[in-house]
Amino acid sequence: MTYAITQTCCSDATCVAVCPVNCIHPTPDEPDFGTTEMLYIDPKTCIDCGACADACPVDAIFPADRLTGPLKRYEEINAAHYEGREPAPVLASPTFHPWGEPVFARSLPSDFAPLRIAVVGTGPAGMYAAEDLLLHTNAEVTLIDRLPVAGGLVRYGVAPDHPGTKGAGDVLARFHRHPRVTVRLGVAVGRDVTAAELAAHHDAVVYAVGAPADRRLGIPGEDLPGSLSATALVSWYNAHPETAPDAVALGAAERAVVVGTGNVALDVARVLVSDPEALARTDIADHALAALRGARPREVVLLGRRGPESASYTASELLALKDLPGVDLVVDDHDPRIAAAIGAAGPGDRAALLADVAREAVDWSRGPREGRRRIVLRFHSAPEEALGPDAVRAVRAGGPDGPVEIPAGLLVRAIGYRGVPLPGLPFDEATGTVPHAAGRVEGVPGAYVVGWIKRGPSGGIGANRSCAAETVGSLLADAVDGRLPRPSGSAKDFARLARARSGHLVDARGLAAIDRAERARGAVTGRPRVKLATVPELVAAARRGRRRGPVG
């Protein structure tokens, strides 16, 4: 028997570190790490020890002979990654894959003084940086977030029907209670404190502020009611406190058009057509669940500007669509280039994933089959205009025979995220990132970046581990070389400053109280949690429960 990695793999390589026979690849020191959609276990090398399954933060690893239903195919997917690869000769050891030479990228002196580090942002990027600092140095870390609750993209960006992926957040959340961690939530840099004030109270500041803005289509009608960004829609169904419960109106839209073919676009399509009763077992926002129960599209059309070979979704996310109960997945075969690309695709090509998906020319005057819903992938079809006049009524899209009007009551752009400038730091408008060298912010000694604000909006949760390791390595090298500015203020000084400036400061006790309150709300209806959806609700829960939780 062997183990297999499945759909929810976050690629953070925790499993690689514990494998005794080096059978999980790519590893962080291999060239294709970060470019593959997931990690893979070599079934010919695996010794069935189960260490990887125990270590996996998102519960993505299972014995292959216990995989059932849609997960069964992952036994073949793992094995296929190693087809055609020559293993090393087997000697007296079960190891088929050669070990690389040990690498010690950091060297800290024995008298290395404790550092006081601020980490701005409590999503995966920030928490991986905090984890690295806490596990490998004696640093004191202050966690700062503009929201009064931690979690970032794991809490507000992962689809509610992907609870395994959210497990990464639970693993990282253990550091909220670390004895060398101070939690200061509800403190916005640029609003409550300046970058200069942060620097004045810490040896270094690591910015993990993500890419919160969205990219625009630049077409007529984009600002009509009924046209919105995937950022807004995802925030809405995840109960983001900066997105009002009434920010999205599904109305009676029979059809929605989603521009994009990445994982976020697929998430949006899946949530819009899923059975609300299935979603009711997740942590989806109450207001979104009520809206989907009242009216949801019968059809979602995903527009791809290029062909299926250029789609940016991962195999696991497409497979999840194919297995969605009560939903048909169809490729609109309106352009001969689509069939040609699928037919010519080789193993592992994105277009090959569509080989067993039904292809048909879609008649927009007709909807899905009776009693079912439908997701349509339409490639070589760039959006040209959203048609109104008072709200979105249709989307005009390009085609080989001229523009086509697709009747729709909802238009969602899912074409990527973008970073925004942070006062006090340089910003590259072309890339939407902070200029840096190996994580060091250019021209600002003691300032560092990690995550999407560093490398742009690419890579999943696990990609942030190696990204954070590079940045923390730069920070520690600067500390050893004496290049960090000396702070003029103390930790107590910053605590007083944060309390004075923030109108809704939440500490570790308050954060624990929010978690208890949400889980208690969920227990009433058999859900993992029911999120508090507004800043006042979150702050009130933090203050009510502060006397009970652990100190942090």
- In angstroms, what CA-CA distances link 252 with 248, 409, 508? 12, 8, 43
Taking the CB of residue 421, how many other CB atoms lie within 10 A of it? 13
| Range(s) of the chain covered by CATH 3.50.50.60 | 215-415
| Range(s) of the chain covered by CATH 3.30.70.20 | 3-80
| Range(s) of the chain covered by CATH 3.40.50.720 | 116-212+419-505
pLDDT of 423 reads: 94
Q: Give which of 217, 311, 301 is closest to 261, Cα–Cα.
A: 311
pLDDT of 62 reads: 95
Residue range 3-80, CATH number: 3.30.70.20
pLDDT of 552 reads: 42
Domain 215-415 of CATH type 2.60.40.10: no
The pTM score is: 0.92
pLDDT of 550 reads: 45
Three-class SS of residue 214?
A: strand
Query: Where residue 89 falls among pLDDT bands split at 50, 70, 90?
Result: very low
Query: Where residue 549 falls among pLDDT bands split at 50, 70, 90?
Result: very low
Structure tokens at 313: 């979704």
- In angstroms, what CA-CA distances link 223 with 253, 409, 522? 17, 13, 36
Q: Which CATH class is domain 116-212+419-505?
A: alpha beta
Phi/psi-derived region of residue 305, left when phi > 0, alpha when psi is between -120 and 50, beta in every other case? alpha
Please state, rounded to an integer, the average pLDDT across all residues of the chain: 91
As a whole number, mean pLDDT of residues 363-389 equals 93
As a whole number, mean pLDDT of residues 8-16 equals 89
